[in-house]
């Protein structure tokens, strides 16, 4: 087994904290590991990335070659596209959709998202909002880690254990908030996967997930089925576009009550 991923984002978003959790969980799971980092001008909002390479055999190189990465895990949408050349044909992009405009020539967001959602395998979250609901906006990175958890060759329980270890010296409230954010991200990701398995187009599912509220537990099967029915129908694409554009998070039970995206609850 070998598994390569790129963790990326902007300075201050906790990219290396994500890598720390994955690294320690991978070692506990018995894998060999290599993980180089690029800090850039992190304190000035520059790009930050880490290549995480896991294998059940010794690893020769620190670097991930083009076309070999199984996953790009990003805390910023433009940064997720920076590394797509590294993805293997079956690779995934897992990204937050909240832009952090840190350069003068940052692309127009409509164009950015058109390119992002054209990728065949994308998990997109409003991780900033999920983190806020969990109790601290700084847990955005742990929400993104949760979203990627189902794709990693590491049990989620080991990842959560290392999340607890990372924040242990910051007090129980911060530990609980980061674990909560991790679980919310995982729930959102699994919900999106269930939509696609139920016949919803991948880009429709990805956009819709950003406009829904998620708790820290699994979404009930009946709620999943109701959203599949809404989003698989002829009006599903338009509904998903409205949900993504407004990002006024709808409660998950809106799928069964038939409420329109325009009736969503505003962010706190």
In the chain, what are the domains? 2-263 (3.40.920.10)
Rg of the chain (C-alpha set): 18
pLDDT of residue 8: 95
pLDDT of residue 210: 94
Mean pLDDT in order along the chain per 10 residues (268 residues)? 95 92 97 82 73 95 94 96 95 96 87 95 95 95 98 97 97 98 98 97 96 94 95 92 82 62 37
Q: Which residue has the tokens 């059940």?
A: 56
CA distance 232 to 109: 26
CA distance 122 to 118: 9
DSSP string, the chain: -EEEEEEEEETTS-HHHHHHHHHHHHHHTT-EEE--EE--SGGGT-EEEEEEEEESS----SSPPTT-EEEEEESSHHHHHHTGGGEEEEEEEEEE------STTPPPHHHHHHHHHHSSSEEEE-HHHHHHHHT-GGGHHHHHHHHHGGGSSS-HHHHHHHHHHHTGGG-HHHHHHHHHHHHHHHHHHHHHHHHHHTT--HHHHHHHHTTB---SSPPPHHHHHHHHHHHHSTTHHHHHHHHHHH--PBPTTHHHHT--GGGPPPP-
Structure tokens at 172: 């129980």
pLDDT of residue 251: 79
CA distance 108 to 29: 42
Give the global pTM: 0.91
CA distance 94 to 231: 21
């Amino acid at each position: 087994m070998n598994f390569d991923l790129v963790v990326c984002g902007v300075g201050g978003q906790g990219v290396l904290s994500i890598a720390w959790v994955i690294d320690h969980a991978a070692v506990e799971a018995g894998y060999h590991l290599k993980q180089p980092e690029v800090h850039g001008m992190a304190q000035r909002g520059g790009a930050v990335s880490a290549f995480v390479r896991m294998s059940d055999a010794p690893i020769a190189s620190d670097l991930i070659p083009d076309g070999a990465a199984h996953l790009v895990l990003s805390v910023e949408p433009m940064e997720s596209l920076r590394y797509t050349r590294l993805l293997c044909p079956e690779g995934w992009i897992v990204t937050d959709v909240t832009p952090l405009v840190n350069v003068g020539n940052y692309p127009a967001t409509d164009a950015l998202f058109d390119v992002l959602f054209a990728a065949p395998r994308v998990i997109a979250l409003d991780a900033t909002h999920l983190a806020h609901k969990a109790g601290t906006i700084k847990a955005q990175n742990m929400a993104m880690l949760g979203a990627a958890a189902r794709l990693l060759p590491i049990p989620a329980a080991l990842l959560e254990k290392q999340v607890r270890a990372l924040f242990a010296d910051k007090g129980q409230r911060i530990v609980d908030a980061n674990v909560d954010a991790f679980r919310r991200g995982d729930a959102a990701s699994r919900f999106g996967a269930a939509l696609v398995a139920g016949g919803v187009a991948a880009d429709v599912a990805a956009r819709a997930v950003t406009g829904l509220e998620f708790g820290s537990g699994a979404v009930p099967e009946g709620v999943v089925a109701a959203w599949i029915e809404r989003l698989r129908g002829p009006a599903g694409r338009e509904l998903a576009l409205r949900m993504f554009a407004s990002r006024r998070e709808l409660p998950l039970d809106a799928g069964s009550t038939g409420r329109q995206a325009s009736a969503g609850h505003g962010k706190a």
